[in-house]
Structure formats: structure tokens, C-alpha cells
Structure 1
Amino acid sequence: MTIRHTRPRPSRLSSALMTAVMLSSTGAGFAQDVDGQDASDTPTTARTLDKVTVTGSLIPQSQIETATPVTVISAEDIQMRGFQSVSDVLQQSSFATGGIQGGQTSASFTQGAEAASMFGLDPGYTKYLINGRPMANYPALYNGSDVFNNISGIPVALIDRIEVLPGGQSSLYGSDAIAGVVNVILKKTVEEGEFSVRGGFFSEGGGDSVRFTFADSFSSADGRFNTLLGVQLDTRDPVWGYQRDLSSTYNFDGYTAAAPSRDFVVLDAFDGTYYFTDPNNCENTTGNFSGSTQQFTRPNFGTYCGSFQSPGYRTLRNGKDAGQIYSYSTFDLSDTTQLYAEVMGLYEEVEYATGSNYTWWGTGVTFGAFYDPNIPDTLVNLQRSFAPEDIGGEGYRDITNTDTNKALTVTFGANGMLGEWDYNAYVSRAEYRLTETNWVRFRDPIDNYFLENVLGPQQGVDPFFGVYPVFTPDYAAFYSPIDPEDFRSFTGFVDSESRTWDNLAHFQLTSTSLFSLPGGDAGFAVAAEVGNEGWDYSPDARMIEDPDTLLSEIWGQTSVSGAGRRSRYSLTSELRMPLFEPLTVTASARYDAFEIADETVDKPTWSLGVEYRPLESLLLRGKIGTAFRAPSLADTFQGLSGYYSSVTDYYRCGEAGFEPGNTDDCTWDSEQFFGQSSGNRELEPIEADVWNAGVVWSPTSSLSMAVDYYSWQIENEVDSISADGLMRGEYYCRSAADGTPITACENILEWVSRGPNGELVSLYTPKVNIAKQSLELVTASLNYMLDIGNFGSLSFAGNYTNKIRHKLQATPETPGVDLLRDPYSMWIYDSYAKTRTDGSVAWAKGDWTTTLYANRIGSTPNYLAYAQGYGYEHPSGQTGGKWAPYITYNTSVNWRATEDLTLSMMVNNVLNKMPDEQAENHPGTTGTPWNNYYFDILGRAVYLEAKYAFGQ
């Protein structure tokens, strides 16, 4: 096949950067050679030009560094730094300055998935690509509301490199590319077949794993047909809370005394104090939780039966069995045309347990409260957790939840030349299916069991309100274990099915020599796309809530269904103009349109980049533009759900002379209402103005460094409207008082429903475009190569991020909050680190290579800073401040034992670093005395690998 190449002379800067890539197996590489005609020639094109490649552009060019900073993490980086998955790679990146929900976050909406966040922005603000094409979205929603990509199913052993483009990139990549773009590029060929086996374990216990990988390339006799086949198989055990000291019990090192779980308790429904009604003084419960349940008294609350060890019965890391298959094939149809096909499939079962805090029964869920004539003058509730002995068998291992993931992506395409133009055309379909098999308690069976065995028959209604039932419980039966057969009679599993799909057709034309300029030939590219995508979330029918009672057939749980689809099309163009030898300007523009619910939502985006090279070794660069995120299918089509609550009726209070903020004496200060919430088909795109500027300097061929500044101004962010915000908005709209309504007055007056006498009846609180945030930060990187003669060579690499400002304004009428300096105001949000750094030093000599990798999380707010604010002083002496920087180290050794066999050992978290110092700044009532959104307590991991090459 004939492939044209231009032959520009690489600058010293390009040569230095390429040298860093070629010599270092652990440095932060910038690119690797890619066949200029493969299917990754999409908006993330990396094309060989005289052995110098570029990324982040439609147009091939001769410079590695451009106006768009790109970090490339090679397969060697992943191997030598000990990363076990794509989530490891991205979560330990210097870009990952924000906390996320994951396997440690018990009972989160997507506990079985893995995500990453760039710079503390929402996971859905990052565009994920595989070989330049969009990944199918995960069918379940992050935090119950946001669309994102699950990156756990990407075969890490088959990765060629990962390209990370920070900053707004919508002018090339379209929707979602606000924080940046991550393009995972899988191998297209291997020089010789490979088979590897890797096994690992944690020194603290649990999490044993084994991974098998096979990859080989095959060619026809005439060389026109070539294919790569790769398979990866993984299995790993979960890590349980009881396998780590920090999570096995309640917090004994906190600023308050440790308090065991309330495994059996009678609660006053009004003030939360306890009544101890067990005639046997907890003697019948002492066998629970491995014999740790006893009688305890909590000061100011009362006596109950509980255990210090119950927090340990949850998973800290998901168990997993997974298989991935990947194939990439090409066929040279002629000298100017090549056909290609790509298939990637995933089957994955993820296992996790939410723990005893979410495995219980109580009267409050169904009855609200009840009246016991033997406890006069109040209403009470019973509450008891289920111990492993109640479950029987293997205890909590028998009631783990399982997420089954099935994904398939198929692509067919052609590339080559049309006259003087290069072209690339493909069609692709990606589909992701999720089955969530959740352990549940069935509402009628579990309530009937306790009615028959504990509560007894209802004896009327309470004397206070005439609403709550009257029971005279058998407290001896309540404070007793449950037979495992009885437990199984009211528990079981339900399956919820969901899926997403994405169909895409793409056509691109590129010219590297459109016309001549003083600095060289101008390049031009244009790409058109058309496609459609869909989302369907169908929970088990028994989990759908009744719109009148707000209850489902599942005790304590409901779920909301949703389904929708949208079609889309886009047109993208890019023009690269070397105006003079040192000055190049690149402009790109894109138009995206989405057909959603019979409405068209469209958005043009643009960017303008400048590269100035006053010296052969120096690059000054900058880029300005816009980015956006279209309304997601979940935000648009999430189903209707109901709830009961209370809110201040600001409008009626205003009529009575009470202004917002001064309604304590208003009759309507706390009005009951029925609320409903859902997606919103009238949402507008989230918009962002973005820019970056930086410098790259390479004074010698072995040293390069870069510093870049980024800025985001994001508006029209989507969030569920609050009842308080809706009522304030009604007050502003009806009374013409000074203030900014939360949304349009037309919407507000439609969403607030009142009765004939003006009384508040119901509220509709959908998702709306309501919030905005701004973010500023600086990144830096360094690569240095050192030849030490007979002792081999050394390679140094480092990356650094410093967040200068991160401000969020949640609603139009509330002031902005500085997330870096005012954590108390944003208690409901994940934590943020102001700085993050990673670095490595690698040594290579002969058949040996070894690497030391360090990862540093800068200071983060401690628990009391979130709970009470900076400067708060607790009587124990603990204060609201910051945790010290957190540093972990990985190391690896590789030995090429023979021509075909390589043996490796990787030790992650060599010093067995744990965030145990955080425990003293948490209360004794928690079983999670560390920030589990940002830190893990898995400890030291050891991996051994053997890789055999064959077929040379």
C-alpha cells in the first residue's frame, strides 16, 4: 500500500521529546509510532511523520508538542509503575485532584463500576475514547443522576498507550469534552506472539488475583491481510472490611469514644433516645457477629445491644471475574485503499457487599413509628441489623450483590487516498448491557414475619395523632437471633436490566498540503458524523414505587425507570497555518446537533491555538475556545418519582410580612407537601469557555520540561431543583421582590401547585440548568535522560498539578463557594486536593530494568473541616484543618531471563502506607475513619508475572 509522508526536519525540541520517548520505558512518554493509515486516524490522530508523531489534531504534522498539551502513558509506563487497570492509571494521575465514588463507597449507585475525575470535575465531563471512537455510556447513573463511563472493562494488558488531553476539547470531540479527553489506544499488531500470567496478593490479606493474557498477529501469505487477536482473563477476590484494622471495627482512635452499632435498639421517635426493653439483658444476642454483640450504654442516649465488629462485613474492593476479547484486522484492497475491522467484547461479573449498615429491618420504614402502651407519652421505633449468624451459610458472602456487564463494540472502515486527499470512513456500533443482581428484603414477607413474631396484632391507633399503629411487642423475641431458614423466607435477589447503545458513521478528509505559506504547507481536515444513541434503565418491577404510598414491594428500596434515545450529527473542520517559520496558528470549529424528544438541541464550538518557537528548543503555546455537554439521556428521560417533605412557604409568609431569612415566627414556616422529581426534556447544553497557555523547553536532547495554565468558566450546569429554591423563586416571581428566581417564572408557577385556599399542595422539582463553576490550575511535567556509561542509563519523569481556584455557585440566588478553601459549605461534595504529583526514576542495564514510582496527594481538608469548617476546635483538641500530604511508592523489577521469557515483580505501596492518621479526626461512631472518596486502605500489593514470546 502506498502511503505518502512529508519529510520536514524535526526541531531540536521535537528530537529531544522523541528521545525521551524512545529511551525511557517509565517516563511520561509523549507518543509512539502509529501506522499513518490505521483506524485511529480520527480526531485523536497520531500519525508518523519522519518518526515524529503528534496527537490531539485532525491534521498530521511534524511536531510532537502543539498548542494542545498531550500526555501519553505508554504500555511500558503501565507495566513498570505497577498499574493493574485503566482506573489505576487515571486515578493515580496528577490530573486526578478530586474524589470519586467507587468500591469503598458502600451502597453508592454504581459501587460495581470504576470511574475517574479530571481536576475534580464530574466524571461525565471527560470524553472517553477507545481507538479514537466514543465508549458506550455505563447504563447505571453515577450518584444516581449522572451519565459516565465505566473504565473497569478495558483490557489493560492489550493497551498500546493512553493519551490524555486536558482542557476543553469540544471543537474536535464534541459533547462531554469539557474537562478533557482520554483516548485508550489498543495494540494493532505485535511483533511476536505473547502469553503472560500475572498473580498478585495483598500483604494485609484478601484481593488475591490472577490474570492471563494472550496476543498474536497473523498475516496472509501475500501480506495483504493482517490481524491481531488478543484475550485477557482476570479473576480477583474481594477485600473485606474485617481484613483491615482501620475498617474492621468502629473507630477507637477518634475524637469521641468509640460507639458500637445499634444492632438491637428501641428508639424514641421524637428525640432519638433509647429504651432498653430486653428482659434477658442481651444474653440471647451474644452469638451475633462472631460473638461480639453485647449490652452497651451510650451516654445521653441509653442502653442497647450492639457490636464493635459489624463495620467489617462489607467489601472495600470488589471481587471480579472478567474476560475481554479484542481483534483488529486490515486488508489492503489496493495500493490506495485499506479495509479494517475491529471487535472488542467484554463479559464481567463484579461482586460486592454493602455491609451491615444496609442490612437491617425497622418499623420506621413501613409504619413511620408506633405506640407501645408500656412506653407512654411517646412513639417508638424498633431497629435491628442482621448478623452473619442470622444469614447462615457463609454469612455476608452469601448475600453479595453482583453486577454483570456485557459490552460489544464492532467497527468496519476503510482508509486511503482520494486524489491528493487522505480519507478515513467507518461505521461503528457500541452496546453495553448491565444486569444488577441485588440482595433485597421483600416488604410484605419481612413485615409479616416481625408482625407475627415480635409486634403482634395491631391494637388501634396512637392517642396523639390518631395515625400511627399501636403494638405491644414481645421484646424477648425481638432481642433474639433469627433462624437462617426464616431469614431466607423474607429475603432474596432481584434483577434490574439496563443498557446503552451508540451507532456512529464517520467520514474524514485530510490534506497536509492545502496551500503554501511562508512557514510551510497549510493543513486542512474536515470530518462529518451522524449517529444515534439510546438508554434504557428497567429496574425489577417489584422495585418501582407506588405513586400514592411511595413504597415498592422491596423493603426500604425503590428505583426509578427511564428510557430514551437521540440522534445526532456533526461537522468538524480544522485548519493549521504555519504563517512564518516560528509561528503556527491552528483554528478548529465544530457544529453538533441532537434530536431529543422531538426537539433540536444544537451547539457550535470553536478553538484557536497559537504555537510560537522563538528558539529551536523553546515553544510558547496557547489555546482559547469553547466546550459543551449536551443534555444526557438520563437528565432528559429519567422517570417520575415521588417523595414527602416540608418546606417554608415564602410567598404566604411574605404576604404576612415575613421576608426570606426571617420566617421563624411565620405560620407557614414548615409546610408539608408531596413532591415529584424527574428528568427534564427542556434542558439546555452545559457551556464552558476554556483557555490554556504554556511553555515547553528542551535545552538539550535529553531534557524537556513543560508548564501550562488552564482556565474553565462553566455555566448552565444541570442539577435537581430544590424545594426551597423553588419556593423562593415563587416568592420572587409573585411578589416582584428583589431576588433571582432559580429558573424561569413560567416554569416556577407551573411547578408549584396550590389548593383553592392558597395552601401548598405539591411541588415538581425536576432537573434544571442551575449551577455554574470556575476552575483555574497549573500543570507541569519534566523528563530527563542520563547515560551513566557501563552502569546503564537512568530516566527521570514527573508530573504536577496545582489547583489555584475552584469556585461553585450551586444556584443563582446563592453565593459562590470556594471548594478549595471552604469545605464546610460543600459537605455534600467529594473532597478535593489542591496539588497532586507523580514521579518516577528508572534504571536500565542489559537484561534488567527497575523503576521507583512515587505518587503524592497534597493536603486535603480533614473530617472536622468538612463537618464544622476550618478553625473549629473540638473539646478533644482536634480541629478543623487539613490532613498532611499523602505519599505512596511503587517499585518494579523486570528481568529478561531468556530471549523469549521475561520475569517481573511489582510491589505497589511498598511501605504499606495507610491513612490511619485520619482516624483521630473522625468520631468514634464511624466505621470508615478515613476519606474513602480519595484514599484507600488496601495496603501493600505484590504481583509476579511471567511473559513468554513465541512465533518470531
Structure 2
Amino acid sequence: MKITTLLTSKKLLALSISAALTLPVIAQETQNAAEEVEKVQVTGSYIKRTAADEAEPVQVLDFNYIQSTGATTVAELIGKLAISSGAENQADSFSQASTQGTGNVNLRGLGLSSTLVLINGRRQTLSGAITNDGSVFVDSSHIPIEAIEQVEVLKEGAASTYGSDAIAGVVNFILRKDFEGFEVSAGIGKAADSSQKDTDFGFLWGAELGNTFVTVSGHYLDRTPLTIADRPELGDVALSSLGNTFLLLDNAEVADGPYAGSYGAYQSVPDPTCLDNDLGVLIPQAYGSRCGFNFGPLYNLVNTETRLQLYSNVNHYFDNGNELTVDMSWSSNEVKDNPQSPSYPDLTFPYIGPTDSGNPFGVGVVWLGRPLGAGFEPALAPRENDTFRTSVNLVGDLDNGWSWDTALTYSKNTYTQYQQDQLKSRLVAALAGEGGPNNDELFSPFDRASLSQSVIDDFTHMTESEKTTDLLVVDAVVSGDLYELSAGTIGFAAGIQARSESFKVDTDDVFEIKFDEQGNPIPVDLIFLQGLSKVDVDRSSFAMFAESVIPVSENVEVKTAVRYEKLESDSSFDPKIAVRWQVSDEFILRASASTAFREASLSQKNASSAVITSITDYNDDGSAKSSAFVGVIATGNDNLKPEESENYNVGLIFKPTDNLDFKLDFWSVDYTNMITVENAQGKLIDDPNGADIIRTDAGFLQSVKVNYFNSSSVSVNGFDIESTWTISDQFNLILNASHFNSYELTKDNGEVVEAAGSFNIDNFARSMPETKGSLNLNWIGDSQRASLNVNYVSSYDTGVDVSALPNESTTVDAFTTIDAQYSATLNVTQDGEAVVTLGIKNLLDELPPRAYTAVGSLSYDPKQHNPLGRVLYAKVKYVF
């Protein structure tokens, strides 16, 4: 029976669980305080255990490490995580246009959707933003970095514990509570050789009010832009062949004027004013030349952005030992500018008759260009990203020593995207002399200097689309000691979880994709953007789960877990077994095997959307023709099956001394039914004239249709290394590294390829260096501390043929940066002290390695590298 039959609405669900939360409060007694200290709950399990158990591969980023990075956002912190590869945490209008102002995690490079992100162990709604490849994710930009106590990263599948999405692992952001005092901070970070800077302010306040603790935190970030003009080498191939050019369809003679000359049929004739502006460029063609447009300098590498984040936590401890926790958070992130080209090219490639639109050639031409190009101001495409979350958690103890834990969590995200384009119908009218507010003005692409502002206003339209998600989750768990064995006590936990989520897309009438009677999308009235379909869908799921920890002998422990999840149209049963063997005082062996799953997102099943992507077109003989931004239209697929995986981990922990440990884990994930969207570039390469390759009558590439589908398989394996050396009371050294041995995937056409060590331009995987790592040296004195952090990303190949480009390489070089930080605590007053922090990120001022993938893209990889170069920062925190 579906959960929607049992719970007819979210309000009924909330009322029912609220009643359930209230009943146990009356009859519970206080648990022994010593047990609370001895045992803790670690991400990946509902059973409290001693911290020394180390039964699962969990990496912990503690408060001191987080502070040592100098990170002002969670995205910056995650960017240095060795196990995360291919996340979208940098601004990029070309490949990440719909996720700007957000942050995410990509564990194991298995996709943003395959990492489960928790806040205080509870689920969070997905972001309304959707990536170019259709991935959904939890937006980490909602979390204020001042409020983070620690981050726990479970580096293996955990569907048996948490359900859908935990295929690659789990990232749990644990926020501060029970804080007493007041902290206020201010900081500034500036790129050394540009005007780009981050200014941030934060506060943390907490008080004890009897049995109640109240904690409130806030953070404000103001970010100024870094343009490609400031780093021209990072965008020097961001140009379009569609500036302002005319393809003549017959021989022509022009006696005088700017176009004077003799021309042949099918000759490309550029605008004679093409080079009057620095952004114009002439591109040789087989017959003639095109006027191209160097749009790169208009775009940002870092956008103007403001972020406001608020978090509050109330903890009340009842006299009977129960604990009530209520936390609430809200964030508003705004991308203020996000400049684009003054206008996009007209992908309808209109025909202009011999006597139309001021045509000087006297023969018909095809216009290859854009209404507004060099010489016009860039258009802005701002983003707004708002998130709200609240969670009510009540825990207590039963008379038999068991404990119970119940929670009700609600979260909502709204992502609003603005994008300017030109109305196709009004541009056609202007070309016919019927433009402007009175339908009597002419736009001649042969003489754009005469273009009036009234005509521009008439054919220009600012699209607005809003994607909203929300999630309501009910959790209830009981745990305790089940049975006493000779080797120890069996720990046991069991629980239920009910989830209800929704996804809604709303957009203006012009931008909305509508469908004809046969179900085919009707082209929107825009020359470039392809539109969105309106969506309003929801679904629910219900799960039961149990886990146990069994001490088989004094040195061997077995953990088992199982979860059954009933979905709207499917179900999943996922077991897990893990073994920990204390071979000796120095050696521990651990191994685990589990299955995991992820159901298709509501957007993948229901939404039709389009993104603009740089595509290299090809001739029938396989030679490259040209590169241009075209529409990639993705259609939702209601028949998608849940993804499934088999996960394995074998690890060795070596502790030669109390101050030194080494952890080596070999892991493997076999992924089947992986949900992805067809790769537009790969689809075009396979069949340049296929049914889903949309071209104009003249053969120009206009758009590519792609579909969501369940691909055959992905097989990934590698190993992680983690080591901590406490050199002395003041010095410690921490190493973290992750390496792919292999990442075999099946492409859209059935071909199996190796994705590790590749940019993966022609398949659905993201760029994937084989190795990422970090080394952190920390010194902690009585009132001073310092840290040195080394971050490494290995080299990888683009797979692009650059034989005709002698200055380009197929290799993206390895990238190493060094960060340094020093802080001192100063006694300012009797009751207060100031902590002054100075730091340098990217001490050696390493610019990201060059990544040539295609004309019309950035010249570096924003999914792996940061464009800022050396950044100097200072921060002052006053504590009292």
C-alpha cells in the first residue's frame, strides 16, 4: 500500500508524528550519564558505540581543520576534499549555467546525485537547481560555515541505513549546539593581482537558560567579481563563429558602400565593421570568412554574489532525561550580475530576401549572427537561491535501558533563474520593417549602427523560471542492547522513515515548453534559449530498517543492516554486512559488502528542459566543421528504473604507536541502471545527421535532442589513504588521498570506455583526475597556531584532437597548491579576547592548468581547479 494512502497530506503526517513525539515523554527515565560519555553515534550507524571502534571508513573534518583552511563557504571546504571529484562549486556560465550560487559534493566521482548529504544526521531537500547533465543535489551553500562543529564523511554505500542516494557515500554536516558565549567575526580575502575580494561577517551566540541551551549563528558574505578579462588566458578560446556574417546563396556584385566587391555563391561574407571592436574576430572558411565574436572577456570567472545565512538551535533537557532539539535555518544567496553576451546568436539562421532588411547584395542570404554583438553592453543573468529548514528531534530512554529517537524535518528550496534572449517573432517583424512599439521600424543586420533602442527593447525578453523543491521526513528509531554473548553484548537498532517530496517548475509564458497533440515540444518564441516545461509533481516513500553489531569473539565484530524501502512505483531491499577484526594491538582489518540504490529524481522523470552547450559540429566524413553554442533539449522519462549498486570495501588500519596511524581502504562500486542523460557531443559524433540532430534547411546545427535513460553499467574501484601523526603536543600531520584504479562506463552507444584520468568530453562522466590528495601540517601553541596545507590534483587527458593546434596539449597538467595560515589569541579585556588570523591561499600563485576542450569554452576545468591564483586573507574574531 502506498504511503499516500495512509497519509493523505503533509499536514496529517505532521500532526500524526507530533502526537507520537509527545507520548513517550511522560514515562521515560534518565540514562546513566557515564554511558552517554562513553558511547557516541557516528555517521553510518544508529547504534551508539565507543569512538575507538573504527568499524566504518569515516573521515572526520574537525573544527580545528575547518578553521585552518580559511574557507568562507562550505563549497570551498569541499573543494579540498580528496574523495570529492567533479563537483560544481565554481562559477561557469558555459557548463554550469543553472547551478551558479550553489554548492555540492561528488564523492568518488559517481555523480552529484549519488552522494547523500545530511545536516545533523537528517535529510535535506534537493536544490531546485539542476545541472546541465540533469543531476540533482543537496545545496551545501545553505550551511553557514561558522555553525559547523565537524563534518563526517562516510566513504562507502549506506542505503541500508539511510535509503536512496547513499551510493557513493554520505556527508554529514554536524552543527554546533549547547554553546555558551558570544563570537563576532569579520574577514576579508583578496586575489593578489586583481580587484576580486570576499568580505564576510559572522556571529555565534549561545546561552544556558536553566535546562535549555539556545544557539544562534549568522553569516554574511559579499563577493565581488573576477572577469575573464582579468585572467584572459583562462578564457581565450571562449569565442563564437556566429558574430555577424552573411552566407550568399548566389553570385553577387556590389558597386559601392561597405560591402563593395564581387562575391560567389555560398561565399561567407563578414560584417565589414567586424574588427572595429576588440571582441570581433575574422575566422577563415572554406569559401570566404566569418565574423566571429570573442565573448569571453564579457563573462565572469567569479560572479558578484551575496549570501546571508541564519541558523538557530534550541536544546532542552527534561528532568526525566529526555532531550528536545529544535533547529531552524534560512539562507538567501543571490548572484547579482552573471554577465552574458549582449545577445545570443539566432539559431533559426533566418533567410533574408534580395530586397529585404536593407540587403546590399541583391541576392538571398542566410544570416549567421546575433542581433547584438560587439559594441553593445552585456546582458545580465542573475540567480536567486532561497532555502528554509526546520527539524524537531525528541530522544529519550526506556525503562529497560533502550533509547528512542524521533524527528520531524521539513526543508524547502526555491531557485530562480533569469536569462535574457530575443523574441523570434519580434525580430522577424523588425527584419521586415515592422519592429518597435509601433510596428514601423526596421532592423538591418547589414548596418547595426542604425539599430534604435526602441527596436532592441521590443524584441528583447527577460525569461524567468522558478524551480521549487520541498521535503518532509519522519524518522523514528529505537536502539539498545539486544542480547549478552560471551564476547560482549549485541547492539541493535530498528526504525522507520516516511518521506514526502515535491518538485515544481514555473516559468513565464514565453519560456514555457508546450506540446502538440502528438506530444512533441513546440519551439518557444526565442532565437536561442529552448525553454522549460511547467511541472508540479510529488511522491512519497516508506522504509523499515534494522541493524545490529555482533561481537563474535573478543577480537571479531560483525555488523549487519537491512532496509526495505517502498517507493511510489517500485521497491528496494538493501542488506549490508561489515566485519572488523582486531588482529593485534597494531593491526585492524575491516571489510564490508552492501547494496545501494537511488530512485530517479522527480525532474528526471517529469521535466523537459533545455540548456545551451558548446558543441563541435562534424561533417559526414568525420572532420570537424565548427563549434557553437546550441540548444540541448532533454526530455523526462517516466519509465526510469532505480539505480542499483553493489559496494565493497576492504581496509587495513595500522597503529604502530598511540601517536601514529595509517588507514588503507580498497573500495569497489558496481553500478547498474545508472540514470544519466545522453551526451549531446557524443551523440553528434556517432551520427551527425541522426533523427535527434536538429538542423536548418541549410544544414546548420540548431539543437540536439537527448533523453534520460538507464545506462548499462559503471564499474569503479580504487583506494583511499588516511594517516594522522601526532608528532608532539604541538605538532600533527594529516594525510588524505583518494585514487581511482579504474572507472569503466558504458557510453550511450554501448561502447565501454575508461573514464579515470580523462576529461570525458564525449560521455556522461565528469572530468576525473586519477588522484587527489591533501597534506596538513598543524602547530598549536598556548595562544598561537599555524597550519600549512598542500592540495594535489593529478594530471588527466582531454581526449581532444589538437594535432592541428601546435600550441595546445591533450594533457591537463597536475595542479598543486599550498595554503598557509597563522593565528594568535590576544587578551583584549578581562572578559574578552580577540583571535587574529592571517593567511595565504595558493601561496605560490599557481594558475589552473590549461584545459583545451573546444572553441567556445573556458580554457581551464572549473570542476577541478580554482581560477583565483594567490589569495591573501585576514580575519578577526572577538570572543566574550
Q: Report the counterpart of residue 390 of structure 1 in structure 2.
A: 376
Residue 408 of structure 2 is matched in structure 1 by 427
Could you tell me which residue of structure 2 aligns to residue 83 of structure 1? 71
- Correspondences of 1:691-710 after superposition (within 5 Å): 691-710=648-667
Residue in 2 that maps onto 1:439: 420
- The C-alpha deviation readout for 1:539-574, integer Å capped at 9, x for no partner, is 222102354583223332222222211111111111
Please state if 1:265 is matched with 2:245. yes
1:872-887 → structure 2 map (5 Å cutoff)? 873-874=803-804, 876=806, 880=810, 882-887=811-816
1:386 Cα deviation (Å)? 3.1
Q: Give the partner amino acid of 2:202.
A: T
Name the counterpart of 2:554. 581
Matched position secondary structure for 1:210: strand
In structure 1, what is the Cα distance between the partners aligned to 2:610 and 2:249? 26
| TM-score with structure 1 setting the length | 0.76
Matched with 2:507 is 539
1:418 aligns with 2:398: yes
Shift of 1:488: 3.4
Aligned-residue identity in percent: 20
Paired with 2:274 and 2:365, the residues of 1 have a C-alpha distance of 25
Aligned residue among 53, 58, 70 for 1:70:
58
Partner SS for 1:543? coil
| Inter-CA distance 803–348: structure 2 relative to 1 (3 Å threshold) | same
CA shift in 2, pair 1:516/1:278, >3 Å: farther
Deviations 1:244-296 (CA, angstroms, capped at 9, x unpaired): 13246458xxxxxxx886532224689xxxxx9943996766664xxx25674
Distance 1:551 1:172 in 2: 45
**Aligned residue type for 1:446:** L
SS in 2 for 1:139: coil
> The residue matched to 1:622 in structure 2 has which SS?
strand
Which residue pairs with 1:735 in the alignment? none
Q: Which residue of 2 aligns with 1:769?
A: 710
State the one-letter code of the partner of 2:730.
S
2:635 touches 2:706 (CA, 8 Å); kept in 1? yes
Give CA deviations for 1:830-887 in whole Å, capped at 9, x if unaligned: 211011111111122232111110110011114xxx223xxx744737564x333210
Q: Pick from 320, 344, 350: which aligns with 1:360?
A: 344
Three-state SS of the structure 2 residue aligned to 1:541 is coil
2:288 corresponds to 1:302: yes
Structure 2 Cα separation of the partners of residues 502 and 167 of structure 1? 24
Equivalent AA in structure 2 for residue 175 of structure 1: S
Displacement after TM superposition at 1:73 (Å) = 0.7
Residue number in structure 2 paired with 1:313 = 298
**Contact 2:469–2:504 (8 Å) recurs in 1:** yes
Cα distance in 2 for residues equivalent to 1:577 and 1:688: 25
Q: Which has the larger share of helix? A: 1
Give 1:802's match in structure 2, choosing from 739, 742, 753. Answer: 739
> 1:555: which partner in 2?
527
Distance 1:711 1:249, change over 3 A: closer
Residue 242 in structure 1 maps to residue 245 in structure 2? no
- The one of 170, 173, 179 equivalent to 1:190 is 179
Going from structure 1 to structure 2, the CA distance change for 1:547 and 1:339 (only over 3 Å counts) comes to closer
1:888 equivalent to 2:817? Answer yes
Note if 1:2 corresponds to 2:30. yes
CA 451–382 in structure 1, closer or farther in 2 if over 3 Å, else same = farther
CA distance in 2, matches of 1:485, 1:287: 24
Separation in 1 of the partners of 2:282 and 2:132?
A: 35
Aligned pairs for 1:543-692 (under 5 A) are 543-547=511-515, 550-557=522-529, 558-595=531-568, 600-639=569-608, 678-692=635-649
1:336-375 correspondence to structure 2 within 5 Å? 336-353=321-338, 355-356=340-341, 359-362=343-346, 364-365=347-348, 367=350
Q: Structure 2 vs 1, CA of residues 782 and 434 (structure 1 numbering), >3 Å: closer, same or farther?
A: same
**Alignment map for 1:14-53 (pairs within 5 Å):** 36=36, 48-49=37-38
Q: Please, which moves more after superposition, 231-240 or 826-835?
A: 826-835
Match of 2:20 in 1: none
Seen in structure 2, the aligned counterparts of structure 1 residues 370 and 382 have a Cα distance that, compared at 3 Å, is farther
1:142 is matched with 131
CA distance in 1, matches of 2:498, 2:233: 51
Contact 1:563 1:638 survives alignment (8 Å): no
CA contact (8 A) 1:783 1:795 kept: yes
For the 8 Å contact 2:41–2:47, the answer to whether it is kept is no
The total of aligned residue pairs comes to 785
CA contact (8 A) 2:422 2:461 kept: yes
- Out of 148, 159, 178, the position equivalent to 2:167 is 178
CA contact (8 A) 1:282 1:295 kept: no
Aligned-partner SS, 1:365: coil
State the one-letter code of the partner of 2:350. Answer: F
User: For the residues of structure 2 that align with 1:850 and 1:94, how far apart are their CA atoms?
Assistant: 22
Q: Distance in 2 between matches of 1:828 and 1:88?
A: 25
Q: Give the 3-state SS of the residue equivalent to 1:712 in structure 2.
A: strand
2:408–2:473 Cα contact (<8 Å) kept: yes
Alignment of 1:224 with 2:211, yes or no, is: yes
Distance (whole Å) between structure 1 residues aligned to residue 351 and residue 595 of structure 2: 51
Deviations 1:27-48 (A, max 9, x none): xxxxxxxxx5xxxxxxxxxxx4
Distance 2:853 2:207 in 1: 58
Whether the 8 Å contact between 1:415 and 1:425 is mirrored in structure 2 is: yes
Q: 1:370-429: CA deviations, max 9, x gaps?
A: 6789769985223136357433xxxx3xx3222222211112231111222111112111
Q: Which runs of 5+ in 1 are unaligned?
A: 8-35, 37-47, 252-258, 271-275, 456-471, 644-662, 665-674, 727-750, 752-762
Q: Cα–Cα, structure 1 residues 279 and 949, in superposed 2: closer, same or farther, change >3 Å? A: same
CA distance in 1, matches of 2:148, 2:813: 35
Q: Which range moved further: 129-138 or 241-250?
A: 241-250
Higher relative contact order (CA 8 A, sep 6+): 1
Q: 1:187, CA displacement in angstroms?
A: 0.5
Aligned position for 1:449: 430
**Conserved 8 A contact 2:157-2:596:** yes
Residue 54 to residue 497, structure 1, CA distance change in 2 (3 Å) = closer
For the Cα contact (< 8 Å) 2:761–2:853, is it kept in 1?
no
Q: Which amino acid aligns with 1:527?
A: G
Evaluate the alpha carbon distance shift between residue 879 and residue 268 of structure 1 in structure 2; reply closer, same or farther with a 3 A threshold. farther
Query: 1:717: which partner in 2?
Result: 674
Q: How does 1:287-298 map to 2 (within 5 A)?
A: 288=277, 292=278, 296=282, 298=284
- Which whole-Å CA distance do the structure 1 matches of 2:575 and 2:815 have between them? 39
Amino acid at match of 1:118: L
- Report the CA distance between 1:701 and its aligned residue: 1.4
**1:500 equivalenced with 2:469 (yes/no):** yes
**Structure 2 match to 1:857:** 793
Could you say which residue in structure 1 is the equivalent of 2:6?
none
- Tell me the amino acid that sits aligned with residue 243 of structure 1: D
Q: Closer, same or farther in 2 for the Cα pair 1:477/1:626, shift >3 Å?
A: same
Q: Which residue identity is paired with 1:502?
A: L
Greater mean alpha carbon deviation, residues 611-620 or residues 128-137: 611-620
Q: C-alpha separation between the residues in 1 aligned to 2:221 and 2:465?
A: 25
Specify the code of the residue in structure 2 equivalent to 1:329. Answer: V
Equivalent-residue separation in structure 2 for 1:127 and 1:72 (angstroms): 16
What's the offset of the Cα at 1:900? 1.2
My pick for the range that moved more, 520-529 or 558-567, is 558-567
Q: Is the 8 A contact 1:209 1:234 kept in 2?
A: yes
| C-alpha distance in 2 between matches for 1:77 and 1:269 | 66
1:205-253 CA-to-partner distances (Å, cap 9, x unmatched) read: 2432221111111222xx21221111112211122211213246458xx
Deviation of 1:143 after TM superposition, in Å, equals: 1.6
